[in-house]
Structure 1
Amino acid sequence: MKSKKYRDRFGEYLLEGFKSIELALTEQSTIDGIYLEKTQFDRGRLSFLDQIDFPEDNIFIVEDELLQPLYETESPQGVLAVAKKPSTDFDFLWDDSLKQILFLDRVQDPGNLGTIIRTAEAAGYDLVVCGMGCADLFNPKTIRSTMGSVVTMKVACEAKGDDVLPFLKGNGFYVISAALNNSVDYRSMERKQPHVLILGNEGSGIREEILEQSDKNVKIPMHGKVESLNVSIAAGILLYHFGEIS
């Protein structure tokens, strides 16, 4: 499950930590198995399952050292779960009620991707669309950075911008791109609904063929000798400016 090859083959991924596992069960995600360190079992750390109908046969108590190589966090809680991947197909996730969508073009760092997904959920966005070339949503580092949003946020993966963006524009979405050229200060632009906000690759930004779909380009003004912001920081600023939390 730490390898994309096997995540894809089995359609499963690893969840780490009590909060993420509890969220997954609450959101009706399919958990195939929970693996708990014996030390944590002895401390009664499975109490959160008392209110959830989870089969005991799918709970495995193992020696602590067997799980140690699998953790991504520096201070692990001593529990892992194997979960079924949800559908990440854009056509499956689309519905007419969506009003605020974030499109990511080749965001390749798993930590950035996870942080952006978490921020998008917090800012009230309905869907994150990961274009071709983005980091794997189910990479353990991405999962860790989402802090549970991987099971509560709609995320479409490996979407083709040439297909998705024209479709959204045809459904009345206003397309806003974060870009340095031919752009305006993001603060000068009013919120528009429905809209798509596009963020690009950490080094090269948004591809030209994606930018051609944009109705307006916006930039974040910077002082001093700073040339750019980390994409997850830029995402936070723009998501909260253009998003509408109901």
Structure 2
Amino acid sequence: MSSDLPKRHIKLIKALKESKNARSKNLCFFVEGLRSVEEVMKSDFTIEFAIVSDKFMNVNNERSRSLISQLQNFKLYLISGELYNTLSDTVTPQGIMAVVRMKPFDLTDYAEGNFLFVALDRIKDPGNMGTIIRTADAAGVNAIIAGKGCVDVYNPKVIRSTMGSIFHLPVVQTGDLITALKDLKNRGGRIITTYLKSEKYYFDVDMTVPTVLVMGKEDEGVSNEIIGISDEVVKIPMSGPAESLNVSIAHGIILFEAVKQRMKTRPFACK
């Protein structure tokens, strides 16, 4: 463990915190907090280097000691709490972060068998994006596709909202969602898209076959072009006066209908 954090690392962390372009250019992002760093350690993502504050080092419990021991296998820096706070993206930092290398994902590697994908069209809110990723992880989704106009999935607020799920399933960012969806259709996938003006409810469609569930922008929904190539457009029945549901809530409702249907035809172990 070193106490001499290079200035280039300080500059990198500040850039990764603020800029999608910096994350794309450097092909890395940073995670913060005990749980997030633990999840990286369990995954096959690569840690470039890690930082702990003197405050974190003074937390004398088995969990923190175990993590510090594991991080000794990487470049690990001990810095003051004051310096750490200038790098942190949280109001009350725990005092531990890691810079992580991005992984390349190819959708064709996951479009096999009875796949279940989630595709996102212009989801802007980091909290919604993170919750969608976490929910998809819980549902056993094979992969998520984030189209052009979506918030960066490696945005620090998104990473925190996923609660570690970003390391459990592939999240593919694409500049051409239409082409990606057409390719999945050619591979046998059915495109099921949410649409408030639909006449069909989500529980009336078959999701036991290869399926791509498409969710759209919080205030506008899915683009007309995507609706045009969809095999089904569905909605959630609502009896109250609310105009619509939050996109992450709607996503969870429909996605777990797919889980329910699939459990009936091909039971699998659940927690």
The 3-state SS of whatever aligns with 2:214 is: strand
Q: CA deviation at 1:49?
A: 4.3
In structure 1, the gaps of 5 or more residues are: none
Q: Which residue of 1 aligns with 2:104?
A: 87
Distance 1:179 1:217 in 2: 6
Q: Distance in 2 between the 1:124 and 1:209 partners?
A: 28
In structure 1, distance between residues paired with 2:131 and 2:163: 8
**Counterpart Cα distance in 1 of 2:58 and 2:212:** 49
Aligned partner of 2:156 in structure 1 is 140
Query: Is 2:115 the partner of 1:115?
Result: no
1:100 to 113, 116, 132: 116
Match of 2:185 among 154, 162, 169: 169
Q: Which amino acid aligns with 1:61?
A: L
- 1:57-77 per-residue CA deviation (whole Å, 9 max, x = no partner) reads x11111011122333444322
- Number of equivalent positions: 243
Structure with the larger helix share: 2
Does the C-alpha gap of structure 1 residues 9 and 161 become closer, same or farther in structure 2, counting only changes over 3 Å? Answer: closer
Matched, 1:55 2:65: no
Compared CA separation, residues 203 and 161, structure 1 to 2 (3 A): same
Q: Which has the higher contact order (CA 8 A, sep 6+)?
A: 1
Instruction: Report the secondary structure of 1:242's partner residue.
Output: helix
* d(CA) in 2 for partners of 1:17, 1:216: 41
1:48 shift after superposition: 2.4
Equivalent position to 2:166, from 150, 153, 168: 150
Which amino acid counterpart does residue 161 of structure 2 have in structure 1?
S
Residue among 13, 17, 25 paired with 1:9: 25
* Structure 2 residue 242 is the aligned partner of structure 1 residue 242: no
RMSD (CA atoms): 1.9
Matches within 5 A, 1:33-72: 33-44=49-60, 45-50=64-69, 52=70, 54-55=72-73, 58-72=75-89
Instruction: Give SS of 1:138's match.
Output: coil
Deviation at 1:232, TM superposition (A): 0.5
Contact 1:98-1:127 within 8 A present in 2 as well: no
Percent identity, aligned pairs only, is: 36
Provide, for residues 155-212 of structure 1, a one-character-per-residue CA deviation record: whole Å limited to 9, x for no partner: 1102422211111111111111110123312223343311010000011110011111
Q: Superposition pairs for residues 119-134 of structure 1, below 5 Å?
A: 119-134=135-150
Normalising by structure 2, report the TM-score.
0.83
Is the 1:179–1:206 contact (alpha carbons within 8 Å) kept by the matching residues of 2?
A: yes
Q: Please state whether the residue corresponding to 1:177 is helix, strand or coil.
A: strand
Code of the residue aligned with 2:188 in structure 1: it is G
Is residue 211 of structure 1 aligned with residue 230 of structure 2?
A: no
Counterpart of 1:207 in structure 2: which amino acid?
S
Q: 1:159 to 1:240 in 2, by over 3 A?
A: farther
Distance 1:76 1:210 in 2: 41
Equivalent pair of 1:72/1:144 in contact (CA under 8 Å): no
Separation (CA, whole Å) in 2 of partners of 1:204 and 1:212: 16
* SS state at 1:81 partner: strand
Q: Is the 8 A contact 2:36 2:160 kept in 1?
A: no
**Consecutive aligned runs of 4 or more in structure 1 exceeding 4 Å deviation:** none
1:5 and 1:170 map into 2 onto residues whose CA distance is: 33
Counterpart code for 1:158: T
Q: Gapped runs of 5+ residues in structure 2?
A: 1-15
